[in-house]
Amino acid sequence: MRRDRLRRLAVLALALWMVLPILPLAVWSVAHGWRFPDVSPQDWSLRAWSFALSGRSGILQSFALTSFIALATTLLSALIGVPAGRALGLYRFRGKGLVTLFLLAPAVLPGIAVAFGLHGVFLRLGLAGTVTGVILAHLVPVLPYMTLVMAAVFSRFDPDLEAQARTLGATPWQTFRRVTLPAILPGLMTAMLFAFLVSWSQYLITLAIGGGRVQTLPLLLFSFASAGRNDITGAVGLLYILPGLLVLILTARQVTGRGAAMAEGLRP
């Protein structure tokens, strides 16, 4: 009984921990005037929401652009990260430690250093201020996660399964599609969701490479916040949280419990 109550208390605490910071945003987004000492706003209004959701604010366009950039970054990082993770997870080769270090470097380097370093290069390549440039720049912080997660997934994958498929008449593509992909899919999904989130939350790199011409949601959020538009900031903030919330719900089953589908085709 007591353990049950403790567990319920823990769940409640966890929920509060996650919900409480969001609460002021939600209140702000529907507040009409809210001065300091007051506990609640003077008045309520949906003005901020109708502005945010109308075409003229550019917030929905920014939402779409941010989604597109995050999606493209995710797919590109999967295209690079799956083979790279496979090499790291399955094979031993000379200089593997060094390769791993290089892969991890962007994750520990300060974002501002990466941003300004890249900016110079991208300027010369004509990529500065373009969506393509921003996507490529986002790969820097995203790839380490993708590659390392896939390396962990492949280290539990038995490559003999692929050899077996080939001797049963499967072409290399059929082997990947019918044997490898089903085995790595749960891990790949998790890695892609996190890749999406990492790209989604980039501020500094987008600002530096996009030069203000690529207005993603974090940039917009920051400009509304610094302009003192707390109601619109609240609305945009809530929109901004949306994918993260979705990811949390989608991955909760995979990252917890029995490792859920992670077991498929992978050695324990």
Partner 1 sequence: MTSLSVSGLAKRYAGAGQAALHGLDLTVESGSLTAILGPSGSGKTTVMKLVAGLIAPDAGDIRLGDRSILDLAPERRGIAMVFQNPLLFPHLTVAGNIGFGLRMRGLAAGQIASSVATMLDRVRLTGLGDRRPVQLSGGQQQRAALARALVLRPEVLLLDEPLSSLDPSLGDEMRQLIRDLQRETGITTLVVTHDQTEAVALADTIALLLDGRLAQVGPPETFYQRPATKAVARFFGGVNFIPGIARDGRFDCAFGPLHLPPGIGPGAGLLTIRPEALRFGPGPNQRGARIDAVTFLGTQSRIDLSVADANLQALVAPELARSLTPGSDVTISFPPEALWVLPSGG
Report, in Å, the least distance between residue 177 CB and partner 1.
10
DSSP secondary structure letter of residue 223: H
Residue pair 199/73 in contact (Cβ under 8 Å)? The answer is yes
Q: Phi, psi at residue 31, to the nearest 5°?
A: -90, 145
Q: Which of 75, 161, 227, 252 binds partner 1 (CB under 8 A)?
A: 161
54 lies in the site for partner 1, by CB under 8 A: no
**Token digits of residue 42:** 């003077």
Q: Contact region for partner 1 (CB under 8 A) — 26-34, 125-133, 178-186, 244-252? A: 178-186
**Per-position x/- string for 245-264, each x denoting binding to partner 1 as judged by CB under 8 A, each - no binding:** ------------------xx
Residue pair 218/63 in contact (Cβ under 8 Å)? The answer is no
Q: Which is closer to partner 1, CB of 69 or CB of 165?
A: 165
Q: Which of 171, 213, 246, 250 binds partner 1 (CB under 8 A)?
A: 171
Report, in Å, the least distance between residue 28 CB and partner 1.
47
Strand partners, 31: 44
Q: Which is closer to partner 1, CB of 15 or CB of 263?
A: 263
160 lies in the site for partner 1, by CB under 8 A: yes
> What 3 state SS string does 121-156 have?
HHHHHCCCCCHHHHHHHHHHHHHHHHHHHHHHHHHC
* Residue 181 CB neighbour total at 10 angstroms: 13
173 lies in the site for partner 1, by CB under 8 A: no
Q: Which is closer to partner 1, CB of 88 or CB of 179?
A: 179
**Residue 35: helix, strand or coil by DSSP?**
coil
Q: Phi, psi at residue 259, to the nearest 5°?
A: 70, 5
Q: Contact region for partner 1 (CB under 8 A) — 4-12, 15-23, 49-57, 167-175? A: 167-175
* Residue 134 CB neighbour total at 10 angstroms: 28
Size of the site for partner 1 (CB under 8 A): 21
CA 56 to each of CA 63, 150, 194: distance values in angstroms, whole numbers, following the listed order: 13, 42, 31
**Per-position x/- string for 180-219, each x denoting binding to partner 1 as judged by CB under 8 A, each - no binding:** --xx------------------------------------
Q: Which residues sit at the interface with partner 1, rule CB under 8 A?
A: 158, 160-161, 163-172, 174, 178-179, 182-183, 263-265
